[in-house]
Structure 1
Amino acid sequence: MANASAKKTAAQNEKAIKNIQLGMLVASLLSILLRLLFRRSTLTLSFRTLLTSSTYLITFLISRFLTNAGSPKRSASGELLSSGDDLNQGGMTEWCFDVLYVTWVCQVSSAALGDWVWWLYSIPLYAGYKGYSLVSPFLFGKPAAPGAENVPPIEPTSKRQEKLRKRNERGDLRVKAQQRK
């Protein structure tokens, strides 16, 4: 039996999945239609066509990932068993939506305006680079700086702690009386 927040998450996920499917359909059909009407020469087999068709594969894979992650699980009687992952959360899910939206914009805009619009795709490429740089230390370990093993770690200190440390170095009796053993 699910509680109210799980039901709310499931409803939001179902709505988001319907929006993803509708967006996939509209962006793909509009892109192909605009290419047929205005840029028929881009439909010939070329490197540009392969790149454009690869973006359809990217959007399909990302939409499948989001659909599988966010699909609520229901029993045979229709009772909610699991609401799925929250598709409104930040992090990887948010990046997937960003890549999906930018790809749709690039697909439709390149069909209408030209191939220069694909430069907008550098936005999710940068996001991918940032994501990789955030995840790679956990996957591969953080490389140590040369000579870092001999340097003791610097502990952050407040202004008050810094004053007490300086007084202690000067030999102030007030500080020595307060030191704990």
Structure 2
Amino acid sequence: MANAAVKKQAQANLAAIKNLHTVSAIINALYIISYLLFRRPASIKSYLILSLPAWIIEYQLDKLGRPRYSPQNGSLISAGEDLSQAGLTELLWDIVYVTWGCDVLAFLIGRSWVWLLYLVIPVYGSYMAYTSFIGPMLKNRAAAASSDQPEPVGKKKEKKQKVKHVR
């Protein structure tokens, strides 16, 4: 049973990697063709610079998720990391999707200012950092500071506490 789950994950990873490479090749080819034929957008520098993170991430996702097989008998050694897991992997996919969106809009609209939409990534990252780490940490500090002062205890509660300590 466990081997079936590993094989299923390997197949899902292979499908995700194949789709990643196919869509990336199509979008990048369309961008380059639109630049060469129509000079839309006028500069290719922004495309090359801002697409570089997506290409690096594409390589990393391929490296992480590609299943490994035994060269002797072709059996599955490792299914690779789950490419649909939440967290950092999900953020990597989001960066690739935003890059593709900017690529498509840039060659459809023909303007390089579309790459300003790439600022969504650091804004989203800051939001996630605040809601996941910074905000809770600040709340915990405030709660710890307020808990340093002893709370006033009622007479009944004080008696119950004394009875518990006596037993």
What's the TM-score bracket when you normalise by the shorter of the two chains?
0.7 to 0.9
Are 2:94 and 1:123 aligned? Answer: no
What TM-score do the two structures reach when normalised by structure 2?
Answer: 0.76
What is the SS of the residue equivalent to 1:89? Answer: coil
8 Å contact from structure 1 (residues 38, 112) kept in 2: no
**What is the distance in 1 between the residues matched to 2:131 and 2:77?**
33
8 Å contact from structure 1 (residues 10, 84) kept in 2: yes
Q: Percent identity?
A: 32
**What is the distance in 2 between the residues matched to 1:134 and 1:98?**
18
Match of 2:29 in 1: 29
Are 2:88 and 1:92 aligned? Answer: yes
8 Å contact from structure 2 (residues 27, 103) kept in 1: yes
Are 2:159 and 1:176 aligned? Answer: yes
The C-alpha deviation readout for 1:149-171, integer Å capped at 9, x for no partner, is: xx65639xxxxxxxxx76xx331
C-alpha spacing 1:112/1:154, structure 2 compared with 1 (3 Å): same
The C-alpha deviation readout for 1:92-128, integer Å capped at 9, x for no partner, is: 1111111101101101211220223223212222233
What is the SS of the residue equivalent to 2:77? Answer: strand
Please give the residue correspondences for 1:1-16 in structure 2 after superposition, counting only pairs within 5 Å.
Answer: 3-16=3-16
What's the RMSD between the two structures over aligned residues? 3.2
Instruction: Give the number of aligned pairs.
Output: 155
What is the SS of the residue equivalent to 1:86? Answer: coil
**What is the distance in 1 between the residues matched to 2:25 and 2:106?**
17
Gaps of 5+ in 2: none
What TM-score do the two structures reach when normalised by structure 1?
Answer: 0.71
8 Å contact from structure 2 (residues 67, 76) kept in 1: yes
State the shift of 1:40 in Å: 5.2
8 Å contact from structure 1 (residues 95, 127) kept in 2: no
